[in-house]
Chain A
Amino acid sequence: MITAFFIFNQKGDVIISKLLREGVRRNVADAFRIQVITSSEVRSPVLTLGSTTFLHIKHGSLWIVAVTRSNADASLVFEFLNKFLSLMLNFLGTTVLDENTVKNNFTFIYELLDETTDFGFPQNMEINGLKQNISVPVAYGSSDFLRRSSAVPSSGIPASGSAGGFLARAGTLRRRSSAALSSPNTSAGAVSWRHAGIKHRRNEVFLDVFEDVSLLMSVNGTILRSVVDGRIMMNSKLSGMPECSFGFNKQSHGQTSAQDVLKDCKFHQCVDLQTFDRDQLIKFIPPDGEFELMTYRVEDVDLPFKVNASVTTFANKAVEYSISISSNFPAKVGSSMVVMRIPTPPGTIKAHIGKLSSGKAKFIAQENLIEWKIFHFNGSVTQTFKASVDIASVGSQESLLAWVRPPISVNFSVKMHTFSGLLVNFLKVNEPSGYNAVKWVKYLSQSKSYEVRY
Chain B
Amino acid sequence: MVELLPEVVTILLTNRNDLEVKKMCISCLKTYAEVRPHEAAKAIEVFESDLANGSPYVKALALRTISSIPTKEYIERTAAELPVFLGDANPYIRKTAALGVAKLFEKDPRLGQEYGLLEKLNNLLHDKDATVVSSALAALNDIIERSPQLKLSIEYRDAVTLIGLLGTSDEWGQVYILNSLLSFVPSQESEAVEFIEKVMPYLQHSNSSVACNALKVIVYLANYVKHPEDVLPVLPQRISSALTSMLSKSSEIQFLILRNVILLLLTKSKLIQLDVKMFFCQYDDPIYIKDTKLEIIYLLAEKSNVGIVLNELEAYATEIDIQMVRKSIRAIGNLAIKIEETASECVKVLLDLLENDISYIVQETVVVSKNILRRYPNQFEELIESFSKHVDSVEEPEAKSAMIWVLGQRSRNIASSTKMLTAFSEGFLEDPVDVQLSLLTASVKIYSRSRSLDSSQQQGAEELMLKVLKLATEEVNDPDLRERAFFYWRIVQQSASLQEVVDVSLPVISTDSDKLPERILEELELSIGTLGSIYLRPISHVFRLAKPKSLAYSPALQKHIEGKPISSNMERQVSISENVRSTSSNGQSVQPESRPDRRPLIDVEVHHPHTNANGEKLKQVQSLEDEPEGSNIDGSLNAPRDVHTRFPSHSSQSSTKTSSRKSTLGRRASISLLSRKLRNL
Using CB atoms and an 8 Å cutoff, list the residues of chain A in contact with chain B: 1, 19, 21-22, 31, 35-36, 39, 41-51, 53, 55-57, 68-76, 78-82, 107, 110-111, 114, 118-119, 121-126, 133, 135-136, 156, 158, 163-164, 167, 170-171, 173, 175, 181, 183-190, 192-193, 214, 216, 218-219, 224-225, 227, 229, 263-269, 272-274, 276-277, 292, 294-297, 299, 401, 404, 406-407, 449, 451, 453
Cβ-based interface call for B602 (8 A): no
Q: Given the known A-B contacts A71-B531, A273-B201, A406-B283, are A111 and B27 also in contact in the complex, defined by CB atoms under 8 Å?
A: yes
Chain B residues with a Cβ closer than 8 Å to the other chain, count: 119
When the two chains form their complex, are residues B170 and A186 in contact, meaning their CB atoms are under 8 A apart?
A: no
Cβ-based interface call for B11 (8 A): yes
A424 vs chain B, min Cβ distance (A): 18
Q: Given the known A-B contacts A111-B27, A449-B282, are A39 and B628 also in contact in the complex, defined by CB atoms under 8 Å?
A: yes
CA distance A55 to B288 in the complex (A): 14
When the two chains form their complex, are residues B283 and A449 in contact, meaning their CB atoms are under 8 A apart?
A: yes
CA distance A273 to B169 in the complex (A): 12
Report B-chain residues with C-beta under 8 Å of the C-beta of A183. Answer: 57
CA distance A265 to B174 in the complex (A): 18
19 pairs, A vs B, C-beta closer than 8 Å: A47-B630, A48-B627, A50-B633, A79-B208, A82-B250, A111-B24, A119-B99, A124-B172, A125-B172, A158-B3, A185-B57, A187-B92, A188-B92, A192-B170, A219-B315, A267-B204, A269-B170, A297-B241, A451-B283
Cβ-based interface call for B126 (8 A): no
Residue with the highest number of chain A CB atoms closer than 10 Å, among B64, B204, B212? B204
Report B-chain residues with C-beta under 8 Å of the C-beta of A193. Answer: 170
Report A-chain residues with C-beta under 8 Å of the C-beta of B11. Answer: 167, 170
Q: Given the known A-B contacts A71-B531, A75-B529, are A51 and B627 also in contact in the complex, defined by CB atoms under 8 Å?
A: no
Report B-chain residues with C-beta under 8 Å of the C-beta of A264. Answer: 241, 244-245
B467 vs chain A, min Cβ distance (A): 39
Q: Closest residue to A404 on the B side, CB-wise?
A: B320
Q: Given the known A-B contacts A22-B106, A73-B529, A269-B207, are A44 and B627 also in contact in the complex, defined by CB atoms under 8 Å?
A: yes
Cβ-based interface call for B490 (8 A): no
Cβ-closest 4 pairs across A and B: A75-B212, A186-B92, A188-B131, A75-B529
CA distance A81 to B168 in the complex (A): 24
Cβ-based interface call for B410 (8 A): no
CA distance A78 to B251 in the complex (A): 10
Cβ-based interface call for B154 (8 A): no
Q: Closest residue to B90 on the A side, CB-wise?
A: A186
Report B-chain residues with C-beta under 8 Å of the C-beta of A51. Answer: 543-545, 634
Cβ-based interface call for B156 (8 A): no
When the two chains form their complex, are residues B1 and A158 in contact, meaning their CB atoms are under 8 A apart?
A: yes
CA distance A170 to B253 in the complex (A): 40
**Residue interface bits B1-40, CB-to-A below 8 A is 1, else 0:** 1011001100100010001110110110001000000000
When the two chains form their complex, are residues A277 and B206 in contact, meaning their CB atoms are under 8 A apart?
A: no
When the two chains form their complex, are residues B103 and A186 in contact, meaning their CB atoms are under 8 A apart?
A: no
CA distance A181 to B55 in the complex (A): 12
Report B-chain residues with C-beta under 8 Å of the C-beta of A107. Answer: 24, 27
Cβ-based interface call for B371 (8 A): no
CA distance A171 to B24 in the complex (A): 11
A258 vs chain B, min Cβ distance (A): 15
When the two chains form their complex, are residues A82 and B542 in contact, meaning their CB atoms are under 8 A apart?
A: no
When the two chains form their complex, are residues A35 and B527 in contact, meaning their CB atoms are under 8 A apart?
A: no
Cβ-based interface call for B171 (8 A): yes
Cβ-based interface call for B674 (8 A): no
Contact of A50 among B251, B288, B634 (CB under 8 A): B634
Cβ-based interface call for B129 (8 A): yes
Q: Closest residue to B129 on the A side, CB-wise?
A: A189
B678 vs chain A, min Cβ distance (A): 28
Cβ-based interface call for B532 (8 A): yes
Contact of A189 among B130, B172, B237, B278 (CB under 8 A): B130
CA distance A68 to B543 in the complex (A): 11
Report A-chain residues with C-beta under 8 Å of the C-beta of B159. Answer: none
Kindly specify which of B413-421, B533-541, B657-665 makes contact with the partner chain. B533-541
When the two chains form their complex, are residues B245 and A295 in contact, meaning their CB atoms are under 8 A apart?
A: yes
Report B-chain residues with C-beta under 8 Å of the C-beta of A123. Answer: 135, 170, 172
Residue with the highest number of chain A CB atoms closer than 10 Å, among B11, B91, B198, B633? B633
Report B-chain residues with C-beta under 8 Å of the C-beta of A121. Answer: 99, 135, 138, 172, 176
When the two chains form their complex, are residues A57 and B250 in contact, meaning their CB atoms are under 8 A apart?
A: yes
Q: Given the known A-B contacts A47-B627, A181-B20, are A70 and B145 also in contact in the complex, defined by CB atoms under 8 Å?
A: yes
When the two chains form their complex, are residues A188 and B1 in contact, meaning their CB atoms are under 8 A apart?
A: no
A407 vs chain B, min Cβ distance (A): 6
B59-103 CB contacts (< 8 Å) to partner A? 60, 64, 68, 70, 90-93, 95-96, 99, 102-103
B572 vs chain A, min Cβ distance (A): 20
CA distance A276 to B204 in the complex (A): 10
**Residue interface bits B615-636, CB-to-A below 8 A is 1, else 0:** 0000000010011101101100
When the two chains form their complex, are residues B138 and A42 in contact, meaning their CB atoms are under 8 A apart?
A: no
- 15 further contact pairs, Cβ within 8 A, besides A44-B623, A71-B527, A74-B533: A19-B31, A21-B106, A22-B107, A44-B288, A46-B255, A48-B637, A51-B634, A80-B209, A110-B27, A111-B24, A119-B102, A126-B170, A171-B15, A216-B280, A265-B204
